[in-house]
Amino acid sequence: MISDEQLFSAYQKLWVNRSFSNQDNLSVKEKLSYAIQKDLRDEMTHPRVRKSPEVKYELAVQRINNSSLAHSEQLALIDLYTKLLRNC
């Protein structure tokens, strides 16, 4: 099983420009969940051009599958995205 730190590191490899500097008080798991939820809600995009969480999920899964991450890391990230999509 992949640790939270490994999963967070895998996420950072795919989304290099994401900043976590204002989240020092959160655990690694909370930081990762927060970042994925923010991605699924497309909060980094202007409100008029935001995509639905389902579209953002599909794009993330494609990016993860096309990455050079280990297969176990890919599956763990996709699993986390799937769980968090249900909460959006």
Model confidence band, residue 61 (pLDDT cutoffs 50, 70, 90): very high
Task: Name the average pLDDT for the chain.
Answer: 93
pTM surpassing 0.85? yes
State the DSSP string of the chain. ---HHHHHHHHHHHSTT---GGGTTS-HHHHHHHHHHHHHTTTTS-GGGPPPHHHHHHHHHHHHHTS-S-HHHHHHHHHHHHHHHTT-
Whole-number pLDDT of residue 23: 75
Determine contact, residues 5/55, Cβ cutoff 8 Å: no
Question: Taking Cα atoms as reference points, which of 85, 75, 2, 5 lies closest to residue 37?
Answer: 85
